[in-house]
Amino acid sequence: MKVSPSLLPILRSRTQGELLALVLLHPEREYTITELAADIGVTPTAVLREVDRLTGGGILAERKVGRSRLVRARTDTPLYRPLSDLMSVSFGPLPVLTEALTGLEGVRRAFIYGSWAARYSGEPGPPPADVDVLVVGDPDPDALFDLAEDVSRRLRREVNVHRVSAESWHAPTDDPFLTSVRERPLVELNLDVEA
């Protein structure tokens, strides 16, 4: 079941939201109109209309190479950070991982940690190359592997899932991994599961 992003009512369309999310959440990349259309699953004409609006509004930048138009996020404007945050919350790792993990048997809690959580919490740094997820509980390892593969495809970025038992998560520890995760920014996913 695909949940509608919470920002969809204030955006022109799902196409606009998915286009913004793809480009703004991957500011290191440039995309052709054809690539954007294929990634979003709409016609190049639909993408072209949105790109024209968004470049006209100063949100995206474009350049021509031969007959191709290359589109990228404009990170040099005051709009970039707030729009990127909105797209991340509505179309990025938070809703996608929440949807994927909700109802997976054995999952008690889940957190995003690492560079994605740090950027989300406002720490400066380069865009994260991947998303690190800590799952607390005892879900089936094969189900978690399949979930990570599916979410990686949906987010167009590698998703690494690490599982720990509820007992290990709640107990004092000198495990370097858990100590590091606990000391850095964590973004908890709202899974609405009973503890």
Domain residue spans in the chain? 8-82, 92-188
CB atoms within 10 A of CB 94: 19
What is the structure's pLDDT at 9?
65
Say if CB 107 and CB 99 are below 8 A apart: no
Dig out the tokens for 111 from the structure: 């957190």
pTM of this structure? 0.70
pLDDT in 10s for each residue of the chain, 195 residues: 344 455 556 787 878 888 998 899 888 899 999 999 988 889 999 999 999 999 999 999 999 999 999 999 999 999 998 898 888 777 788 888 998 999 899 999 999 999 989 888 878 888 788 999 999 999 999 999 999 999 998 888 899 999 999 999 999 988 999 999 999 999 999 887 554
What is the structure's pLDDT at 89?
72
Say if CB 76 and CB 59 are below 8 A apart: no
The architecture CATH gives domain 8-82: Orthogonal Bundle (1.10)
DSSP one-letter string for 58-126: TSEEEEEETTEEEEEE-TTSTTHHHHHHHHHHHHSHHHHHHHHHTT-TTEEEEEEEHHHHHHHTT---S
Question: Token match 């799902």: residue?
Answer: 14
Q: Quick check: do 8-82 and 92-188 share a fold?
A: no
What is the tens place of the pLDDT at every residue in 49-93?
Answer: 999 999 999 999 999 999 999 999 999 999 998 898 888 777 788
CATH class for the domain made up of 92-188: alpha beta
Give the Cα separation of 100 and 89 in Å (integer): 15
Give the Cα separation of 170 and 136 in Å (integer): 10
Cross-strand pairs, 135:
110, 163
Exposed (0-12), middle (13-18) or buried (19+): which is 20, by Cβ within 10 Å?
buried
